[in-house]
Structure 1
Amino acid sequence: MPTSPAKVIPGDRPLLGIGYMLIAGLLFVMLDSTAKWLTQTHSPVQVLWARYAGHMVILAGYLLWLGLANSRPLLVTESLGGQCLRGLLLGLASLLAYLSLRELPLLQVYVFHFGAPLLVTLLAVPLLGERVDRARGLAVMLGFVGVLVAMGPVDWRAQPVALLPFGMALCFALYQLTTRRFGRHDHPLASLWYAGLAGALASSIALPFFWTPIGLAELPYFLGIGLLGATSQLALILAMRHAPASLVSPFLYLQIVWASLFGFVLFGDLPPLTTYLGATLIIAAGIFLARRRG
């Protein structure tokens, strides 16, 4: 059976949706590059707190600008517990990403992040009761081969940090599944608000145990990471609002270009060719799954 084309409904603006997705991809790489730089001198927990605290300040300011009467209906949710769970999963995925970025090249971490849709496809079977046909199953297998190729030979006992991206991908996949389960009928701003709130509260509780003084020169980066966190999520939501997910999602894979460029220019990372080969297999599998689902 051929893959399904993206279904564009009246009112959709596909080019605008693609544009927002391209912006989101660039902002995500800028966010993670800033996090990688900050985690060289500060705890990933402190960086995580700055990301979510800034996120909440910006979003709260926007809701205040809308006014209480207008913003309150936007925050109504069908499942407060479910929204908080997805926020905690996103926060844990972010923490594992920052721990990974502190030790591993930017592009290598992104390759594992690209593997999250493969886990979503597999985990949706037991958790959401979805079915996976043979073609999608083969695509998932191809994607996991790509992960192994990109990772290369690793002595797990000598390099346990290499396990961190696996945890990141798993938490992000569970976050996507809980979004599908609990946030399907909520307003996008509600999903953005509760995800940020859960991350901000959890990181604030842990912050006193990991706090180190912030230098004046570092302050703009700590402020900027919150701004990048909020605007990148907003761009992603706008992309999904203006066009079908199966159309715009593959454009997020262009992050590999930005991650390669930022990693080389800012950190001198030059991944081996196997990383790009593995990324190609993962991206091919991810695009197939996105189009098949569409």
Structure 2
Amino acid sequence: MPSSRSPAPEATPIQDSAASLPPPQIVNRDRPLKGIGYMLAAGLLFTMLDTGVKTLAQDYSPVQVVWARYIGHVVILLGYFLWLGRSAGGAMLKTTSLTGQCLRGLLLLGASTFAYLAFRSLPLLQVYVINFSSPLLVTLLAIPLLKERVSWRQALAIVVGFAGVVICVGPVDWRSEPAILLPFGLTLCFALYQLTTRRFGREDHPLTSLFYAGLAGAIVSSLVVPAFWSSIDPRHLPLFMFVGLMGAGSQLTLILAMRYAPASLVSPFLYLQIIWAALFGFVFFGDIPRSETWIGAALISVAGVVLAVSKRR
């Protein structure tokens, strides 16, 4: 909640909790360990979300799954805002940069669409390893966009990390396997999303950032989903709801991670999704990673550790 709000005379415990959050100027001070903790939580929630998405994408259009993810996202938050009450909930809708928040939402929608299309035909781990180059892009793009510096160690780590991506992809005929291009669209959109979260998400309440990220995706996906709609089996409704819940939770933890620490520090910790993606892919889909995938993942992980250590010096 913004610090300027005075608590209502008969505030509920939920309102008291929201009103007691630290004001933006205090939250804006970097707290690296807290940021890393939130990023680790985001990695697990993202993997749970994507496991549900990949399951649904076998029977439904990825566009319909994207729509369900964002509708669930918005419904959950609107319900919470109503629970807070008109004053507290309404304050959550105020943003210092509506344009910036909408841009974040469109980038997240782009990342989700590329990811869900990729999950339909590619293993979770392969998509993840390619997307793990997004922190490398974040570190590069943070130079002109966030005015962050990159040392020679970080530059070397970026080269090693991208080499890992090339090894993971391996020799491939792009014309016969066009799906392998989809994770690269995901990577670019997600890197830009992380940077815009760092840029526009620090002044607003995390729930405000979370709401507008979901709202933009819900509006745009609602406009196109009728062309891809198929009836939903009642047995799949809980999984659709789970996808919406995990979508909101994963994005909230990511927003908090970027709020508490520099993007170039916390982003590499998403590499730990390698473990979750390999485990979930094997248990739920029977995917056995290729040796090239592991080699590429190892190089990217080393690059991530170097980036993190170099940033803290």
- Please say which of residues 180-189 and 104-113 is displaced more in the overlay: 180-189
Are the counterparts in 1 of residues 68 and 244 from structure 2 also a CA contact under 8 Å? yes
Residue 150 (structure 1) shift: 1.0
Report Cα offsets for 1:232-276 as digits up to 9, x if no partner: 223344556677877765543221111101111111111111111
Change (3 A) 1:158 1:245: closer
Letter in 2 for 1:35: V
Letter in 2 for 1:143: G
**Counterpart Cα distance in 1 of 2:105 and 2:240:** 21
Are the counterparts in 1 of residues 138 and 263 from structure 2 also a CA contact under 8 Å? no
* Gapped regions of structure 2 (runs ≥ 5): 1-27
* Structure 1 residue 212 corresponds to structure 2 residue 230: yes
**Counterpart Cα distance in 2 of 1:171 and 1:41:** 26
| Mapping for residues 145-224 of structure 1, pairs under 5 Å | 145-224=163-242
Residue 24 (structure 1) shift: 2.8
**Counterpart Cα distance in 1 of 2:263 and 2:199:** 16
Change (3 A) 1:174 1:132: same
Are the counterparts in 2 of residues 75 and 187 from structure 1 also a CA contact under 8 Å? no
Partner of 1:72: 90
Report Cα offsets for 1:83-102 as digits up to 9, x if no partner: 10110010110010000110
Are the counterparts in 1 of residues 194 and 263 from structure 2 also a CA contact under 8 Å? no
Report Cα offsets for 1:58-93 as digits up to 9, x if no partner: 111111111221233333222111110110010110
* Gapped regions of structure 1 (runs ≥ 5): 1-8
Partner of 1:116: 134
**Counterpart Cα distance in 2 of 1:19 and 1:179:** 17
**Counterpart Cα distance in 2 of 1:53 and 1:285:** 36
Change (3 A) 1:132 1:190: same
- Please say which of residues 131-140 and 230-239 is displaced more in the overlay: 230-239
Change (3 A) 1:30 1:209: same
**Counterpart Cα distance in 2 of 1:245 and 1:275:** 25
**Counterpart Cα distance in 2 of 1:10 and 1:162:** 40
Partner of 1:279: 297
Residue 140 (structure 1) shift: 0.9
**Counterpart Cα distance in 2 of 1:252 and 1:125:** 20
Q: Work out which of the residue numbers 233, 247, 251 in structure 2 matches 1:229.
A: 247
Letter in 2 for 1:176: Q
TM-score (ref. length: structure 2): 0.83
Are the counterparts in 2 of residues 97 and 164 from structure 1 also a CA contact under 8 Å? yes
Are the counterparts in 2 of residues 246 and 291 from structure 1 also a CA contact under 8 Å? no
Partner of 2:105: 87
Partner of 2:48: 30
- Please say which of residues 69-78 and 55-64 is displaced more in the overlay: 69-78
| Mapping for residues 128-139 of structure 1, pairs under 5 Å | 128-139=146-157
Are the counterparts in 1 of residues 35 and 261 from structure 2 also a CA contact under 8 Å? yes
Q: Percent identical across equivalent pairs?
A: 64
Are the counterparts in 1 of residues 118 and 183 from structure 2 also a CA contact under 8 Å? yes
Are the counterparts in 2 of residues 89 and 175 from structure 1 also a CA contact under 8 Å? yes
- Please say which of residues 201-210 and 119-128 is displaced more in the overlay: 119-128
Partner of 1:257: 275
Residue 55 (structure 1) shift: 0.6
**Counterpart Cα distance in 2 of 1:246 and 1:122:** 9
For these two proteins, the number of residue pairs brought into alignment is 285
**Counterpart Cα distance in 2 of 1:238 and 1:85:** 18
Letter in 1 for 2:166: L
Change (3 A) 1:55 1:119: same
Are the counterparts in 1 of residues 143 and 150 from structure 2 also a CA contact under 8 Å? yes
Are the counterparts in 1 of residues 161 and 299 from structure 2 also a CA contact under 8 Å? yes
- Please say which of residues 248-257 and 47-56 is displaced more in the overlay: 248-257
